[in-house]
Amino acid sequence: MKITQLIVLLAGLLAFASSQAASPYAGQVKAGEVCAQCHGMKQPGVGSPFPPLAGRDANYLKTALKQYRDKTRVSELMNNIAGSLSDSDINDIVSYYSNVH
């Protein structure tokens, strides 16, 4: 409940910000469509081999995704997934995951 309230609040605040700003709401949708399959919305499935993303440091996540995207960090799956993400996708998704507690 807290998370969603936070997200609604953030989304509300961000409506006033520039269109460049990250949208945790858009990020939540994208995360649900793509990332949650492996990483979960809040945590990966019990016993599944994927690292958790929720509640992690935003800068760390952003850097990791950009590294996957330009293949300076190597992982078959993640290179491929991040390859199709734009900067604003990354910002959105990261602003969702880093705000989940």
Partner 1 sequence: MRTTIKRLNKSLLATSIAFLLASQTASAKSDDMNQVYQDNCASCHGADLGGYLAPALNSATLKGRSPTAMRTIVLAGSFDTLMPPFYGKLSDDDIRGVLKHLQNTPKQPNPAWTIDDTKKSIKVYVKDESTLPSKPTYSIDDMSNIIGVAARGKYGRGEGSKAVFINSKTHQKIGEVHTGTAAHIIEFNPANPRWAYVKTDTAEIFKVDLYSMQVVRSVKTGFNGPGIGISRDGKYIMAGSFVPHNATILNADTLEPLKTFELEGVDPDGKMVSSDSGMIVGTPYADIFAIALENAGQVWVVDLKEGFPVTKIEKVGRHLHDAFLTHGGKKLMIAAYDDNIVAAIDLEKREIIKKLDAGCVPHVGGGSAVVVDGRTLGFGTNFGDCDKTVVSVWDLDKMEVVKQIPVAGGTESPAAHANAPYVAVDIISKDRRARTVQLIDKKTLEVVKTLDVGGHAYFPEYSADGKFLYISAGYNGDEVVVYDSITLQKVASVPMESPAGIFSRGRVKYMTRGLSPDEIGQSK
Q: Give the footprint of partner 1 on this chain (CB under 8 A).
A: 1, 3-4, 28-29, 32-34, 36-38, 40-50, 76-77, 79-81, 83-84
By CB under 6 A, name the binding residues for ligand HEC.
Answer: 34-35, 37-39, 50-51, 53, 61, 64-65, 75, 77-78, 81, 93
Q: At what angle do helices 87-97 and 58-69 cross, to 10 degrees?
A: 140
Q: Greatest CA span in the chain, whole angstroms?
A: 41
Reduce the DSSP state of residue 47 to 3 states and report it. coil
Q: How far is the CB of 16 from ligand HEC (least distance, A)?
A: 26
In angstroms, rounded to a whole number, what is the distance separating the alpha carbons of residues 45 and 41?
A: 10
Reduce the DSSP state of residue 36 to 3 states and report it. helix
Q: How far is the CB of 6 from ligand HEC (least distance, A)?
A: 19
Cβ proximity to ligand HEC, 10 vs 92, nearer residue:
92
